[in-house]
Structure formats: C-alpha cells, structure tokens
C-alpha cells in the first residue's frame, strides 16, 4: 500500500434502518464485530482513522482491542450529516490520499488486498445485492461515469480513495464527494453493505464462503 494513504472508517451513524439498536460497526458477523473484521483487513496500514459519533464510547472500546494506535475523529453532527462529512473529518488531517471505508461494509479480503495496492484515486463497486442501493454507471473500461438512485450497471458499495484536498465538508453521502471528479477509475469487487435487516441476513450467509 502507498505509504501516503490514510484509511478512514466511518462509524458515526445511528444505523436506524437495521433495527438492532446499535451502531453497525458493533454488529456480530459470525463471532466477530463488523469493525474487528474491517481492522483485520487493514492490519498492514499504518494510519487508521475511525470517525465516531453515535455510541462512540463502545466503538472506541472495541477498536482499541485490535488497534491501540488508531486515531479517533468525532463527528458531532452525526444526526444531521452522512458519511460524506465523516469522510471529510477523517481525511482532513491525514495523509495525501484518503481511502474511505463505511462502517457497514464488508469487502472480500482478497479484493481488499488488491485495492490497497491501487495507486491514485479510484472507486470500487459490486454486483447489485442490497435492498436500498445507490447504483453506478460505468463505461466499457469499467470507469465510473455517474451515480443513480434509479438504476445502473452495478451497485455503489465503496470503498473509494481520493486526494485529501478533493474531500470537502459536504453533509451528504460519500458519492457526493466523488461526483465532481467523475469519470474516475473503477474497480469491481465482491462487497456487501448492510442497510437493512434483510441485508444483514444475506451477509451472514455470504461470508460463510469467505
């Protein structure tokens, strides 16, 4: 991985659509918390920045079990902002490149290794799987041309990587950070995000094969 890259894990949200009464970073995936599984994939990354908000004390406690050197960044506006703002908060004091990873996302470990070797700015996407998805449109080379709530070639799951100076204090979603810089290099991966309880049940089945 490029030494100038920080990894920003966004864990500030409430996760209300999931209905389990906890931030999604702490949900159990076959005996491991979501954040534990994520941190295991980033074991080789020097600069880990975890953005916290709702349930921050429990998230910090869980992260410190596995990464005592993690930097915690507080999103005090987690009720009124989304992951795009958490990405900005985590990236602004980090390294030249900031890899954004949502706290409700699981990427196949082999694909995450490949992403960590990528250079420059890029967007990852996956086959359609989630109940409430944002879609991406791509060209013949796989580059991302746009995002849509209606339809697209694949599902926008993340992660993504941007230059720090390109990440702005926007209140919306991460794809709002990306749209001004499209088209961008796209990489298809095996990934699933958990927005609803049905997504959670699906992920429990999928990761058995990982």
What pLDDT, on a 0 to 100 scale, did the predictor assign at position 19? 56
**What average pLDDT score do residues 97-125 get?**
96
What pLDDT, on a 0 to 100 scale, did the predictor assign at position 58? 95
- Give the Cα separation of 205 and 62 in Å (integer): 24
| Domain 5-209 is found in CATH 3.90.550.10 | yes
pLDDT tens column, 149-184 = 988 999 999 999 999 999 999 999 999 999 999 999
Token couple for 114 = 């490949």
- Give the Cα separation of 96 and 74 in Å (integer): 20
Domain ranges of the chain: 5-209
What pLDDT, on a 0 to 100 scale, did the predictor assign at position 198? 86
pLDDT interval class at 2 (50, 70, 90): low
What pLDDT, on a 0 to 100 scale, did the predictor assign at position 22? 73
Average pLDDT, the chain: 92
pLDDT interval class at 13 (50, 70, 90): confident
pLDDT interval class at 23 (50, 70, 90): confident
What pLDDT, on a 0 to 100 scale, did the predictor assign at position 108? 96
Q: Does residue 30 contact residue 204 with C-beta atoms inside 8 Å? A: yes
- Give the Cα separation of 53 and 40 in Å (integer): 22
């Amino acid at each position: 991985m490029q030494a100038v890259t920080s990894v920003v894990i966004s864990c500030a949200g409430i996760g209300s659509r999931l209905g389990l009464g906890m931030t999604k970073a702490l949900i159990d995936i076959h005996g491991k918390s979501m954040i534990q599984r994520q941190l295991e994939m980033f074991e080789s990354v020097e600069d880990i920045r975890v953005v916290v908000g709702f349930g921050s004390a429990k998230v910090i406690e869980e992260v410190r079990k596995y990464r005592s050197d993690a930097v915690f960044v507080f999103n005090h506006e987690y009720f009124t902002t989304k992951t795009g703002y958490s990405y900005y908060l985590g990236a602004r004091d980090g390294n030249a490149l900031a890899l954004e990873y949502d706290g409700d996302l699981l990427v196949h470990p082999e694909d995450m290794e490949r992403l960590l070797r990528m250079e420059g700015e890029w967007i990852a996407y996956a086959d359609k799987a989630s109940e409430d998805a944002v879609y991406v449109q791509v060209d013949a080379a796989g580059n991302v041309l746009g995002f849509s709530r209606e339809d697209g070639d694949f599902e926008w799951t993340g992660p993504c990587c941007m230059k720090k100076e390109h990440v702005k204090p926007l209140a919306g979603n991460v794809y709002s950070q990306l749209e001004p810089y499209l088209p961008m290099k796209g990489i298809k991966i095996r990934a699933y995000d958990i927005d609803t309880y049905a997504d959670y049940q699906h992920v429990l089945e999928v990761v058995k094969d990982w």
